[in-house]
Amino acid sequence: MRVLILGGDGYLGWPTAMDFAAAGHEVMVADNYMRRNIAEATDSDALIGAPCLSERAAIFEAVGGKPIKVRISDLSDPEVMFGLVREMQPDTVVHYAEQPSAPYSMRGFREARETFQNNLDVTFNCIWAVKEHAPDAHIVKLGTMGEYGTPDIDIEEGWIEIEHKGRKDTFLYPRAAGSLYHTTKVLDTDLLWFYVRTYGLRVTDLMQGPVYGISTDEADLDPRLCPNFHYDDIFGTVVNRFLVQAVAGVPLTVYGGGGQTRGYLNLRDTLQCVRLAAEHPAGPGELRIFNQLTETFTVNDLAERVQQAGNQMGLDVEIRSIPNPRKEKEEHYYNPAHSGLTELGLKPHYMSETVLGAMLERIIENRDRIVSDRIMPRVRWS
């Protein structure tokens, strides 16, 4: 397949590009370095520095033997997006090109507006570029489990049948996101659904939980191919943060009561899910939605697992609840369906002590680069 990856410099975008290329697909990545720029502006640089995209592509070609084409350009500009799709004629467009941080989107008006404009503009341009120039292409869009929020009923895979006054119909599952960032993904889903049902586009929307991990088959070929591993309060996801805190000797930052439950997955499983979705595309006029997670944990469960893995390696890991900077339920029901990707062939890599131990080893190798000031939350929801 010809695969165009929007947001190919990100924590998920770059490993995804290498995974598709290694599997023999023709890959082009596009990115405007928004995450790098925000990381620099907010003093949130990743633990291990990643070379620029063209350097990473050259390193990957040298050690992995597969080319990845690179475009540094702003996909919120319709001319750029249209030009890329017209020129490449992709079979699949993987869309990651969004500002992905919930805390950044809640920092203030400028950051909220930047998140809102970028995320919606890129999705809108992607839809129109495909509709005009490659209408058979399959869009694989990264959504988030956070679109659903934490309702007091089971979470279905995207859709729900509702019976009302004796009649039934199927609707998008109700959404109630907990940050402006997550809300932009709700709006993306609605936009995609409108264009799918009106123009017969083919779309898979992946509702993904927080991802953890640092290792993939291709990233392990050379340390310079490592994904952007963040531990700061802006871009770091909770498991990655806890592991760095364990190494830095900082008590694990459980926000509030720690009963917040989410569906987690290993970075390796993100790659599997996206490729499975791409290699088994949605049909014309179909908005297919998968819940992309493999296990659910409370924040307290995660802290205990990291503590255990750390203790096994001789680290003295403390857990400490701190006031929750976010507005979210700290005790709630959580039961999301997630069978769709398993039915397509997903083989999960679960969060074992071995997996956490291997991540800790990698972090210990880079412990001199940890900046403790990036760890405590700097953004409050109110």
Distance between CA atoms of residues 320 and 78, nearest Å: 47
Rounded to the nearest whole angstrom, what is the least distance from the CB of residue 241 to ligand USQ in the complex?
5
Rounded to the nearest whole angstrom, what is the least distance from the CB of residue 239 to ligand USQ in the complex?
7
Distance between CA atoms of residues 44 and 11, nearest Å: 14
Distance between CA atoms of residues 38 and 44, nearest Å: 8
| Closest C-alpha to 28, from 81, 78, 77 | 81
Rounded to the nearest whole angstrom, what is the least distance from the CB of residue 255 to ligand USQ in the complex?
3
| Closest C-alpha to 280, from 138, 180, 146, 175 | 138
Nearest residue (CB) to ligand USQ, 12 versus 129: 12
Rounded to the nearest whole angstrom, what is the least distance from the CB of residue 142 to ligand USQ in the complex?
8
Active site residue 144: yes
Which residue number places its CB atom closest to ligand USQ? 146
> Where does this chain bind ligand USQ (CB under 6 A)?
100-102, 144-146, 182, 208-210, 237-238, 241, 253-255, 260, 262, 299, 326, 328
Active site residue 181: yes
Contact (Cβ atoms closer than 8 angstroms) between residue 377 and residue 232: no
| Both tokens assigned to 100 | 């992905």
Side-chain-facing half-sphere of 277: CA atoms under 13 Å = 33
Active-site residue among 144, 150, 189, 261?
144
Nearest residue (CB) to ligand USQ, 60 versus 264: 264
Nearest residue (CB) to ligand USQ, 68 versus 319: 319
Distance between CA atoms of residues 125 and 140, nearest Å: 14
Cα 73 from chain centre: 20
Active site residue 131: no
Nearest residue (CB) to ligand USQ, 104 versus 195: 104
Nearest residue (CB) to ligand USQ, 304 versus 328: 328
Active-site residue among 11, 181, 231, 264?
181
Nearest residue (CB) to ligand USQ, 118 versus 134: 118
Rounded to the nearest whole angstrom, what is the least distance from the CB of residue 339 to ligand USQ in the complex?
18
Q: What is the CA radius of gyration of the chain?
A: 20
Active-site residue among 42, 183, 185, 298?
185
DSSP state for residue 282 in the 8-state scheme: P
Distance between CA atoms of residues 246 and 309, nearest Å: 9
Residue 342 φ/ψ, nearest 5 degrees: -65, -40
Rounded to the nearest whole angstrom, what is the least distance from the CB of residue 64 to ligand USQ in the complex?
27
Contact (Cβ atoms closer than 8 angstroms) between residue 344 and residue 164: no
Token pair 């990473």 in the structure block, residue = 56
Residues involved in catalysis? 144, 181, 185
